[in-house]
Structure formats: C-alpha cells, structure tokens
Amino acid sequence: MITVGVIGATGYAGSELMRLLVAHPNIQSILCGSHSHAGSPYQSVYPNFGKIYHQQLDSADIAQMADRCDVLFLSLPHGISSHQLNSEILKKCLIIDLGADYRLKDVAVYEQWYNTSHGSAQLLNQAVYGLSELYRSDIAASRLIANPGCYTTTAILTLHPLLYDGLIESKGIIIDAKSGVSGAGRGEKLDSLYCEVNETLKAYAVGTHRHTVEIEEQLALSLTHGKSIKDVVLQFTPHLVPMNRGILATVYANLQEGVGLSEIEASYKKHYDKEQFIRMLEPGVFPQTRWVKSSNYVDIGFTVDKRTNRLIACGALDNLVKGAAGQAVQNMNIALGFAESAGIDMIAPFPL
Amino acid sequence: MITVGVIGATGYAGSELMRLLVAHPNIQSILCGSHSHAGSPYQSVYPNFGKIYHQQLDSADIAQMADRCDVLFLSLPHGISSHQLNSEILKKCLIIDLGADYRLKDVAVYEQWYNTSHGSAQLLNQAVYGLSELYRSDIAASRLIANPGCYTTTAILTLHPLLYDGLIESKGIIIDAKSGVSGAGRGEKLDSLYCEVNETLKAYAVGTHRHTVEIEEQLALSLTHGKSIKDVVLQFTPHLVPMNRGILATVYANLQEGVGLSEIEASYKKHYDKEQFIRMLEPGVFPQTRWVKSSNYVDIGFTVDKRTNRLIACGALDNLVKGAAGQAVQNMNIALGFAESAGIDMIAPFPL
Amino acid sequence: MITVGVIGATGYAGSELMRLLVAHPNIQSILCGSHSHAGSPYQSVYPNFGKIYHQQLDSADIAQMADRCDVLFLSLPHGISSHQLNSEILKKCLIIDLGADYRLKDVAVYEQWYNTSHGSAQLLNQAVYGLSELYRSDIAASRLIANPGCYTTTAILTLHPLLYDGLIESKGIIIDAKSGVSGAGRGEKLDSLYCEVNETLKAYAVGTHRHTVEIEEQLALSLTHGKSIKDVVLQFTPHLVPMNRGILATVYANLQEGVGLSEIEASYKKHYDKEQFIRMLEPGVFPQTRWVKSSNYVDIGFTVDKRTNRLIACGALDNLVKGAAGQAVQNMNIALGFAESAGIDMIAPFPL
Amino acid sequence: MITVGVIGATGYAGSELMRLLVAHPNIQSILCGSHSHAGSPYQSVYPNFGKIYHQQLDSADIAQMADRCDVLFLSLPHGISSHQLNSEILKKCLIIDLGADYRLKDVAVYEQWYNTSHGSAQLLNQAVYGLSELYRSDIAASRLIANPGCYTTTAILTLHPLLYDGLIESKGIIIDAKSGVSGAGRGEKLDSLYCEVNETLKAYAVGTHRHTVEIEEQLALSLTHGKSIKDVVLQFTPHLVPMNRGILATVYANLQEGVGLSEIEASYKKHYDKEQFIRMLEPGVFPQTRWVKSSNYVDIGFTVDKRTNRLIACGALDNLVKGAAGQAVQNMNIALGFAESAGIDMIAPFPL
C-alpha cells in the first residue's frame, strides 16, 4: 500500500485522477495540491467527493510533496514542471507528468511549438513517453513518465500498427480529430462558456496545434522501429464538439501497394489482440465515444475505400481517462508492478 | 460468490445493473435475459461490455432463469412480473423487482393508477418496499424486494425525516421534480428523439403520474410511523430536462408552528448522519445532479423561507443508479449480508 | 423611419435586440454602444452580423447616444441606468430599459433586494412597467419603459387573469421556474462554463431571487385591480437547465371555493383570446419551450387537480425574446404607434 | 402574390420550409400535404404555428396539389418523386424537389448508389441542380429544380472556386464532414433517440454515403468548366454530432505548384464577393456553425499549411436552411424573379 500525491488536483484531469486513485486497491493515502485552492477541503471544490475523501488541499509545491509520496502526479500547465523538477526529486519518488514538458524528445521542437524555454532538458533522456501499450517495459524501469496528450494517444494508437508494419504511406496522413469540451480545461474563458459552445461546432488551431509534433515524433518512431523521430510530417486538425468528454480521431492514409483490408486487420490483431484496453471493432464498424466514456478503453474501427485506395480508421477514447488520468494510473501500475488494470477496469456507463 | 440473473437486461436500467454486477466483488457469474434480443451476445447490444462480458442473452423466462440463480433481478414493464411470479419461484431465489408491481400495498390503488389487474396480489404481503435506508431490516429478511421508482426514492428520502418527526404539515406538500431523458427508457418513440427533447423543457403527466401514489403511500407511513398508508395527499409534477441522467426534486412544505431551520437540520442529521449514501448539504446549499451522476449517492439541501414560513428542500440522485440499479444492488447486499456498499461505492466522475 | 440605439449591445439580450432591430421594417438606422468593446466593428464581436450590419460599437455613454436616437434601449447591469438617466435625456428620446432599475414601484424594496441605492427615484413615477399585454395604454404614453425580467414576464402572464378574476387564493402561490443558461449572461464565470452546466440541474437563489419582489408587486396590482402593490407574498424558485434558451414556469395555486376548470379556462380566454403573442393551450396540454424558442410567443397550459383542489399552470417563453429583446421591441412598437408585431412576428424554428 | 404547396410538410426540412414560406412577402397562400398526418391541422403537429397558420394537412398527392399551386415543393424520401412526376405536372407548376431523385445527371450512378430504379430518367435533362450561386441563370429558366443535399451544398461551395480556378489538385481531396442530428430526419429510430446521440460522436456511412457521388459529379463540372461529370473521385466521411442543426465540412486538398494563400484568397473573393449568402472569413479564421444557425448564410474559412503544402478549408451552414429549405426558397425567388433574398435574409440568432 502506497501514498500518492496529485499536484493540480482541481483541474478536470486532476480531479478525474483523484477519483481513480481513491478507488485504487493498492493506495493507502492520497495527498492533493493546488495553486488556487490551497487550504480548502477537497470536497468543497468537488462535492462529488463528499463523505468519501476528507483531505485538504496543500500548496502546489512539488519538492515538498515529493518528500511525502511514493508517486507524484503532476497535472499542470506546460512550462511549470520542467522548471521545478530535478534529479533530487526523481530520487525521492516516481513522477508521472500529465503535462507536455517531457513528451517531446527534440527540445528544439518543444521550444518552438510551445514558445518557451525548457527548464530541464537534461532530464529528457530519463523521461519515457507514457503510452502504456507501446512502452510498457521502459515505463516499468522509469522514474519520470511523460503521460501523453489526449489527441495524441488516440491518433498514435490508431496508426501505430499500420506504420510499424509498413502498410500505409507515411506521407499524406491526415488526422481529423474531434474533442469534447473538458479538453479545454476549467479556466474561465469566454470560449468555454456554455452558450458559446453548446449547439455549435468548429475547427481550431488548424495547422498549429501542439499535439501535431508529438504525434509526428511518435509515429516516426513507429515507422522506423525506434530509429528516428523525424520522418513523419502529417496534418492534424482538432475540432470542438458540444459534449463533456470524448475524443474521436478520424484518420486518412494512403495504402501501400498491394495492401487491402485483410492485411490491415491482421496488423491490428497482431499488435492489439492481447491488449486489455484496446478493442478492435469488426472491419466496417466504427467506434462511438459513448462506449468508452468514463472508461480506460480505446475503440478502433477501420475500413478500406477501394474507390480511393485509402484507409479510413477511427479511434475513440475518453480524453480524461485513457487520454489523461486513466493512462497515468495505468503507467503507475506498470511502473510499480501492480496489476495493469488495477483501479481502471471500469465499464463505460451508458447512457451517460 | 453467487450467481445472479437479470431479466430485461437490454433496457437502460437493466444495462446499468449489468454494469454494476460485472464489477461486484461477491458475484461469480451473471446471466442475462431479454425478450427482444434473446440469442445475441450482450456486447453486440452494448459495445461498452466488449472484451469484458462475453455471455449471450437468454430468453426472458422468469421461471427458467430462477432455477439457475441465487438472485434474480427483474427490469420489466409493469404488469409482467405480477403475472409470472409465484411462491415456487420465490423459494428458489431472491427476487428484486425494479418494476412497479409490488411497490404499492393497496392493490386497489395499483389497479386504478396502472389501469390493469394485479396478477399476484397474494404475494404483496411478502413484498418489502426496497428503499434501502428506510427498510433495511425488512429487506434483510425478504425474498421479494420491490425496488422503488426513481422519482419516489428522491422525494421520499427528501421528506421522510421531516414528516416522521412532525416538523412539516402533511397537507399541502408540493413536489416539483425534474428528470433526465433516460427515465423514459429505450423505446423508439417520437417524444424521445434527440431533436424533440434537446434544447427544450416540459412538464408531463401533470396530476396523473403513477409515482404520485407510491410517494403518498410511503410518506403516509413516515407520518404515522408505519400505521397508515392513507393519510397523505400531495402534488407531484414531473418535468423532462435535456440531459441523459439525473433527478432533482424540489419540495415545498409548510412548517409546523415553531419549527425553524435548526429543527429541520437536526432532524435530517438524526436520520441520515450515519447513512453512507445520503449526503446532507449545509443549510442554504442546494444539490446539483452532476455531483451524484453515475453514483449511488443522494444529495439533499434545504432552506427555510421566513417570508412564507415554508421549507424548500431539494434531493438529487442518478435515476439509473440510486433510482434503479444501484439501489437494487444495495438491496441485494443487505439481503445477502454483503457489505452494503459492495460494488456501488463509486465517486461520481466529473465533468460527465 | 427612425433611428434607434442600443447600449449594452454585446450582451446576450443586447445582441438579440440588435438582431430584431436590424430586421425591423420601421427602423432606418441603428447605433450600438458597449463598455467593453467600444471601437470594434459589431460583426467582429458577433460574426452572425457579417455582410449585414456594418457599424462600429460606440462607447456606452447614455447622454451622448440619446442625442442621436429616437429610441434608446439600455441593456445594462442594475444600478447603472438609475444613476445616468435624467429628465433631460427623457425629453430627447424614448428610453426602454431592459434592466431592473425602474421595474419596482417601491424604492425601498429595490434598495433592499438589490443592495444598492437608487439613483433617480424621482423618475419612478414616470416609468411604466413594460409588460406589453397588461400596460398597453400606459406604454403608449410613456417616455420611460421598464422592460420586465424574463422570469417575471412568464410568471405574471401565467397568473394575472386568475388573480384579477379572483379564481385562486393569493396566499400560498408557488412558482417553480426553470431557465436556460443564456439568462446568466455572457460573463466569464466558472458557473457558466460548459462543463459545469451541461448534463446537470440545480435550484439557485432559493428564497432570495430578485424577481420575487417584481412578481409580487405586479401580481398584487392584478389582485387589487391596481390599488396595491403589497398584498401578495409568494414562493419563487429558479432552476438552471442545460439548454441555451427558454423559460418554463410551473405555477401552483389553491383554487377559490367553487372554482373549476371551466372558470379558469374562461378567465384565460377573456384576457388573452385577442392577444397575438399569448397562446392558450387546451386544458391538460402543457407548453414546451421548443415551440416558442426564438419567437415572441408565450404558451400557457393548465389543469386542475381535483385530488388537491389546486391549479397547476405552466407558462413558456424565450427569455431573450418575449423575456427581454422581443418585448422591448413590442413596447417600442406600442409607444411609437407601429404595428405591435412589427419585426417580432417570427415563428419559432424547429428543431432548434 | 402566389400560391405554393409543400408535400412532406411534417418532416424537419418540410416544416422549416413551411416556416420560411409563411413569412415570405410574395406568398399569399400555402397548402401542405403529408402522407402520415393528412387531415390534421398543421399546428397540431407543429404547435409553433399556433395562432399563425391555420390550414389542415392534405394528402401527399403530387398531381392533385400541382393543380392548385404556382410552385410545389417536394420534401420526400428518394424514389417517390421520380415515380410520380411527369411532364404534365411540370407544365402546371414549378417543381422544387428537396429530395435526391433529380440531382445526379448520371442515372446509372443514381441507380447504383440508391439501389433503386429511376422512375423518370427522361426528365433528368430538364432538371437543373439547384445550387443557387452556381446555377442562377439555369434555375431562372427551369421548371424542375433539384435542390442539393446539405452536405453537398457545404462541400461544393467550399471547393468550387479552387477547382474552377485550378488551384488545387482534383485527386486526393478529403471531405471530413460533421452534422447535427436533424439531418437524420424525424423517424422513430433507435439511433436517433436522445440518449443514444447525446454526449457522443461517431463517423457513419464511411466510404458509402450517397452524397459522395453528388459532390463528385458537381466538382467534376467545376473542374472542367461544365464539360465532364466524371473526373473527380474523392473521400467523403460524415459524422454525427450532438446538436440539433448545423453542418461543418473540413476539406483537405493538395495545392497545385506555386499556389499560396494569396491565390486562394483571390479566387474565393472573385467567385463570392458579391454573393449575399456566402461570407468569406479572413485567412486563418475558421467558421462556427453557431453563426449561421437558423440562417441562409454559408461561412467559409481557410488556411494553407506550408508544412504539408495543403489547403485546409471549412464551410459551415444550417442543414435545414441553406442545406434544404432556405436554398429551396432562394431557388424559388430566382425562378420567379423575386428578390433573391426575399423571406430568407434572417440573421442567425445567438445563443441558440
């Protein structure tokens, strides 16, 4: 039984993480920290924890919290953890960072796309990219896990087997992704108001979204079997959809010559058949976010359009679970040798 | 470890029950039956069960299913279970009926409000009303549990202590209740279409909703400490709200002379302080359905309006959990001596 | 053809007013002012006005704007117009104030419930309460029209005939009202974020909402045929519903002895049969906000519950149209002798 | 002043058409027909027409209705109008068919994709494709107008100028489109239930949607300046989004060599600058369906991604207005010489 801490516990991803940790069978005690709500009982910010979790929020001091935890989760805006983390802290506890600071291997790409300097580039080679299904053994050995983004988890899991197995062209990939509103966080912004988001739809950050380079780096690794982070350039377009949770990524890729539905199906099967949290649908059946909402599952469907010789695949997941808090717990489970599904094997409730 | 069955497993309440049962620590095996989908794999109807639950749906034959189960849940339209249940079946297994047939003690009231004959009135005196917090010891001793309705659970829990303790007038009570759309079930009706329900609001069944008499009978028992089912006549008005889940009941009652906020608060505290699933909010704080959604909790808030000398209280719960499947599991836990919260101690995820 | 101005044109009510004014057949030119967006093209704040309305936003200076308009609409937080309006301005142009400052006749009640001093109590006797159907002739003669609130319009129109005709008791009235989110305005508040409001329901301002006293004052006038503003004390409870627009008020009142459905029906018919914008539904049929959304109509339905000897009635309207901007235009039409329905005779689109 | 008729007046597109026709300044009288509701007052099916439109629904007999109208709108499932229309009827009145039967010029493509025989292929050469902006002069001269589909209007208007002007490659175009639920119609289907659609997202008819070939045929005409209907093969993927109305089409196309943002901008400007109902946004600004909802406007935004040398453009419109009923009225206006915007120049209300 361990003690864990969550810094940034009052954001949407942080509170989802708190929920999962409270129910986790291997956790004895949970500390929580917050910049904005330090000193308040957690249940005063999130009444759903009433009669269940009775702790107060501490401050958001990473070093102090690290002294008291076996695992420390960071759910912070980018730029903060890279300036506060150091090797002293990593000696004290396992860090699982839900933010962006340690996801990209190329620090120049990070600094360009995030328009900031990286505070601890020397730690990057210790960081493992926490996409559980792809880096299980590295995660098991790491002290610093960079939990992937929500869009990126969806896109990478949908495309990885096909690039790894050489079934689709790496050039010309388009990822048209759609997300619920919780992905935008709990900030008090005009664009997040109910009446500004409800009953409408838009593309945003077209050609400029930061998850683009995260996907490219990882899919280059898929394509080159780990040899390069530079060989994929793709199109990624996020859209905002009027619903609380869920991501759907619709992926378009040109098939390599001679590749058809059966090769695609076999590749997915080979890579994912034994994965508990990845569910391949029958060819021609496409996923819906409702079937994964509030669960750690990823559903993937696909077809081949013979008219255009193109693969169309869709991945669906819950942006706050498999796209954030659930995968963070999955990574902790792997790193500490718990059952990989401990605390995250919920069925998606429906209708929700 | 026991075997349980669910008949009517493909409705919204039935599938929510299936979800809870799959995760229940004391259950080894779950059978499911359906009139409309017999022979199909359950996960073909509900893909959220993919890679988790692999059983096929059986037919909806109560007697046959009873042979194979320790507990049998019935989630059926009214009128069916009263015509199929008999004392033979009750000898074989514990029956928890989520439908209306055994909730009312007065068979004449049932036959009038449901406009049908009751098929097994002789079993009514064996049936216990399954409002877990009020009838715990009876439930523990029963073979036939009549699980309450969703509106009724909300309304009764909000009013019971105050009537029991004589703090409010029994005459003049008004319950203005609001429900999400899942309460209307999975039938293919014009009035349940997305575009007919989204972005709109209505009252329905004004003065005629069947839960009226269920609430009246139970609150008469509260008022008279179990002596009468006839002493309360009240106003109940349900409304349909564009959201998937959740019930909010806003209750108005005239205070007895000399009663103020502190007496109300003390009464609630006395009755509910030790109840795990009932959370009393501070006076003047009102519940929101989001904090109980997908959980078994009931949140209750209240105030006293001195200008009108009236109590206003609100109860909030999830109609498919505490209002149906969750309470059914709670009742099973009580009846079989499991921990009362086994399998239903989830925190409400948020935002959801 | 006239020139009109709108101050506070970038709020939800203000922009809805702009929309109606642009389409109004008797208006030649529209000026708009805003505290926060002065200097910006209106269509940069509201792109739905692109290629249609090309004016820039002026500042929010009432006196300056009054020099240039025949009619000036004020859509401002309470407290501003009472401190800026004066009789000089009223000589220059007709003022239609969508805010609260001139609605209440009793300045002490205003100052208590709004917790502020009134800046121009001397103008109150010139102000007419702009509930078009009830004060048509006064509106026609006025220079200062206090446009009613959204909840109040709904509640008053639903109850007025019955109190006026003495069919219901004035004591014990309960108004349980439900509103869409646009009623909360465009402020960047946590409680207005999509994820905080979507898929949930709550009561708020229980026993303390300011519309309470506005309804009471007006219904006292109904009850006493204009003689008193003090004889009604009632219960008003607003709720927030996850939809953009619409108000539904569910009203409970005890019937006077001997009054039944036919007397109620006759009273409504007598008062409203010739009103273009009030639609009485058949007894037992209840309104839905979808049928009035984005229109100036009010739909009213009712029934009598013989079990409780009580009237239950529901009024439904669009809070931004008949509850704000539409009624403001209706009042302008009355005051200037235009056709009363000019510019506001839209059918509610559906589904919307 | 003319008389018009609508057959299929009780579907969502039909009722939206009724709403626009009631408000149209050049229309004296409106007849309406329905297969399922013949004999009922229209306002009993659509209470939003209460106190406004008092006609009963006739039967759905095209020939009979044609005798009594100057213009007859057909809003029917595919296959019906092609079997009932004939040249006799076309002599009597202008036919505007909102269905699919006369949209495709290649009858073999129609019969393959709609899996039915065409009942009146001999009329196809009289039919004009009713995309108002592209075929204005043909529409003015026609007796049979095939009103385009909702997805198709969005996609074609977004791509037409760029193909016409040779700025993008015709090969490799991808249209990832998203629609609100009203596009699925008013049928009582499980997949259209509120709880099945709310808070979820899916792709559907991937690679097989019938609008694919309609877009291809029209864009081939754009590409070849009217010479061929066969030269474009593209990818079209529709998605269902939890909102009542609105379509957003996100379009991806490879740029021809040497083409950049300025050429794209100039092309759009040349084609659309004088179009009242098409609003080009500044480069890099993307449309949102809320700004066109319930209006006849189409908003188009675009950017060029230099990393991928690709155009990304989005078109947004209201599927029931510019995507159906509004464009039908626009076509009637053109055909009869009315002002093109008569009855359809509404500003989109917001928030809606």
CATH of the domain at B246: 3.30.360.10
Q: How far is Cα A200 from Cα D248, in angstroms, rounded to an integer?
A: 9
CA-based nearest distance A196→chain D, Å: 7
Token pair for B39: 């022979």
Preceding peptide of A287 cis, ω within 30°: no
Q: Is B82 on the interface with C (CB under 8 A)?
A: no
Considering the domain boundaries, does residue D348 fall inside one?
Answer: no
Considering the domain boundaries, does residue A19 fall inside one?
Answer: yes
Q: How far is Cα D72 from Cα D21, in angstroms, rounded to an integer?
A: 12
Which of the residues C32, C69, C93, C150 is marked catalytic?
A: C150
**Do the beta carbons of residue B16 and residue A346 sit within 8 Å?**
no
Average pLDDT value for chain A? 98
| A192/C193 Cβ within 8 A | yes
Q: How far is Cα D32 from Cα D160, in angstroms, rounded to an integer?
A: 35
Side chain identity, residue A62 = I
C65 and C30 co-located in one domain:
yes
Mean pLDDT, range C131-158, rounded to an integer? 98
Q: How far are the Cα atoms of B170, B193, C43, C229, D194 from residue B185, in angstroms, in the given order?
A: 32, 12, 44, 47, 10
**Do the beta carbons of residue C94 and residue C111 sit within 8 Å?**
no
Mean pLDDT, range A242-270, rounded to an integer? 98
pLDDT at B31: 98
B58 and B134 co-located in one domain:
yes
D251: pLDDT confidence band, cut at 50, 70 and 90?
very high
C87 and C236 co-located in one domain:
no
C92 and C127 co-located in one domain:
yes
| D294/C294 Cβ within 8 A | yes
Q: What are phi and psi of D200, to 5 degrees?
A: -155, 175
C83 and C161 co-located in one domain:
no
Can you say whether residue C115 is alpha, beta or left, with left for phi > 0 and alpha for psi between -120 and 50 degrees? left
Instruction: Kindly list the residues from chain D whose CB atom is less than 8 angstroms away from the CB atom of residue A172.
Output: 172
Tell me which DSSP letter residue A241 carries.
-
Q: How far is Cα C132 from Cα C148, in angstroms, rounded to an integer?
A: 9
Nearest CA among A234, A222, A217 for reference residue A172: A234
Nearest chain A residue (CA) to C196? A194
D157: pLDDT confidence band, cut at 50, 70 and 90?
very high
Could you read off the pLDDT of A3-40 as tens digits, one per residue? Answer: 999 999 999 999 999 999 999 999 999 999 999 999 99
CA-based nearest distance B322→chain D, Å: 19
Side chain identity, residue B46 = Y
H/E segment holding residue B19: helix B12-22
Q: pLDDT below 70 — which residues of chain B?
A: none
A55 and A159 co-located in one domain:
no
A-C CB pairs within 8 A amount to: 54
| C207/B305 Cβ within 8 A | yes
The partner residue sitting opposite B279, judged by closest CB among A51, A297, A351, is A51
pLDDT at D42: 98
Determine the residue among B15, B37, B189, B195 to mutate to test chain D binding: the one whose Cβ has the most chain D Cβ atoms within 10 Å. Answer: B195
**Do the beta carbons of residue B102 and residue B146 sit within 8 Å?**
yes
CA-based nearest distance C39→chain B, Å: 35
Considering the domain boundaries, does residue A341 fall inside one?
Answer: no
Q: How far are the Cα atoms of B192, C264, C311 from residue C284, in angstroms, in the given order?
A: 20, 12, 11
pTM as predicted: 0.98
A184 and A271 co-located in one domain:
yes
CA-based nearest distance D269→chain B, Å: 36
Instruction: Kindly list the residues from chain D whose CB atom is less than 8 angstroms away from the CB atom of residue B193.
Output: 186, 188, 192-194
Paired with C305 in beta bridges are: C310
Query: Which of helix, strand or coil describes residue A235?
Result: strand
Could you read off the pLDDT of C278-326 as tens digits, one per residue? Answer: 999 999 999 999 999 999 999 999 999 999 999 999 999 999 999 999 9
| C197/A194 Cβ within 8 A | yes
Q: How far does chain A reach from its first CA to its final CA, in angstroms?
A: 32
| D242/B195 Cβ within 8 A | no
Could you read off the pLDDT of C251-272 as tens digits, one per residue? Answer: 999 999 999 999 999 999 999 9
Radius of gyration of chain C (CA): 20
Nearest chain C residue (CA) to D350? C16
Could you read off the pLDDT of A77-120 as tens digits, one per residue? Answer: 999 999 999 999 999 999 999 999 999 999 999 999 999 999 99
pLDDT at C244: 98
A70 and A180 co-located in one domain:
no
Nearest chain C residue (CA) to D199? C199
Q: How many domains does chain A have?
A: 2
Could you read off the pLDDT of A145-198 as tens digits, one per residue? Answer: 999 999 999 999 999 999 999 999 999 999 999 999 999 999 999 999 999 999
CA A72 to chain centre: 17
Considering the domain boundaries, does residue C37 fall inside one?
Answer: yes
Instruction: Kindly list the residues from chain D whose CB atom is less than 8 angstroms away from the CB atom of residue C351.
Output: 12, 182, 244-245
A189 and A73 co-located in one domain:
no
Range of the domain at D29: 2-148+321-336
CATH of the domain at A17: 3.40.50.720
Q: Is D285 on the interface with A (CB under 8 A)?
A: no
H/E segment holding residue A198: none
Average pLDDT value for chain D? 98
The partner residue sitting opposite D308, judged by closest CB among A233, A239, A244, is A233
Nearest CA among D281, D351, D348 for reference residue D321: D348
Q: How far are the Cα atoms of A211, A236, A300, A347, C166 from residue A323, in angstroms, in the given order?
A: 12, 17, 14, 16, 62
Half-sphere exposure of C8 (CA within 13 A, CB side): 25
Q: Is D182 on the interface with B (CB under 8 A)?
A: yes
Considering the domain boundaries, does residue B341 fall inside one?
Answer: no
Average pLDDT value for chain B? 98
Mean pLDDT, range D73-94, rounded to an integer? 96
Q: How far is Cα B109 from Cα B115, in angstroms, rounded to an integer?
A: 9
Q: What are phi and psi of A117, to 5 degrees?
A: -85, 155
**C64, exposed or middle or buried, with CB in 10 Å at 0-12, 13-18, 19+?**
middle
Instruction: Kindly list the residues from chain C whose CB atom is less than 8 angstroms away from the CB atom of residue B250.
Output: 176, 203, 237, 239
Bridge-based pairing state of the strands C174-179 and D298-305: unpaired
H/E segment holding residue A222: helix A211-223
Q: How far is Cα C131 from Cα C335, in angstroms, rounded to an integer?
A: 12
**Do the beta carbons of residue C330 and residue C340 sit within 8 Å?**
yes
**Do the beta carbons of residue B236 and residue B211 sit within 8 Å?**
yes
Side chain identity, residue C150 = C
A126: pLDDT confidence band, cut at 50, 70 and 90?
very high
Q: Is A274 on the interface with B (CB under 8 A)?
A: no
Considering the domain boundaries, does residue A248 fall inside one?
Answer: yes
**Do the beta carbons of residue B19 and residue A349 sit within 8 Å?**
yes
SS3 content of chain C, % helix, strand, coil (to 5): 35, 20, 45
Q: Give chain D as a 3 state SS string.
A: CEEEEEECCCCHHHHHHHHHHHCCCCEEEEEEECCCCCCCEHHHHCHHHCCCCCCECECCCHHHHHCCCCEEEECCCCCCHHHHCCHHHHHHCEEEECCCCCCCCCHHHHHHHCCCCCCCHHHHHHEEECCCCCCHHHHHCCCEEECCCHHHHHHHHHHHHHHHCCCECCCCCEEEEEECHHHHCCCCCHHHEHHHHCCCCEECCCCCCCHHHHHHHHHHHHHCCCCCCCCCCCEEEEEECCCCCCEEEEEEEEECCCCCHHHHHHHHHHHHCCCCCEEECCCCCCCEHHHCCCCCCEEEEEEEECCCCEEEEEEEECCCHHHHHHHHHHHHHHHHCCCCCCCCCCCCCCCC
Dihedral (CA of A278, A279, A282, A287) sign: negative
Considering the domain boundaries, does residue D352 fall inside one?
Answer: no
Average pLDDT value for chain C? 98
pLDDT at C54: 97
Q: How far is Cα A210 from Cα A229, in angstroms, rounded to an integer?
A: 16
C248 and C186 co-located in one domain:
yes
H/E segment holding residue C87: helix C87-92
Considering the domain boundaries, does residue C85 fall inside one?
Answer: yes
Can you say whether residue B246 is alpha, beta or left, with left for phi > 0 and alpha for psi between -120 and 50 degrees? left
| Residue ranges of C 203-242 with Cβ closer than 8 A to chain A | 242
DSSP assignment of C119-141: S-GGGGGGEEE--TTTSHHHHHT
C-D CB pairs within 8 A amount to: 99
Percentage of residues of chain D with pLDDT beyond 70: 100
Q: How far are the Cα atoms of B79, B104, B283 from residue B120, in angstroms, in the given order?
A: 10, 13, 45
pLDDT at D169: 98
H/E segment holding residue A310: strand A310-317
Q: What are phi and psi of C85, to 5 degrees?
A: -75, 150
Q: How far is Cα A135 from Cα A153, in angstroms, rounded to an integer?
A: 12
| C235/B199 Cβ within 8 A | no
C65 and C211 co-located in one domain:
no
Query: Which of helix, strand or coil describes residue C197?
Result: helix
C91 and C72 co-located in one domain:
yes
C154: pLDDT confidence band, cut at 50, 70 and 90?
very high
Token pair for C123: 């103008």
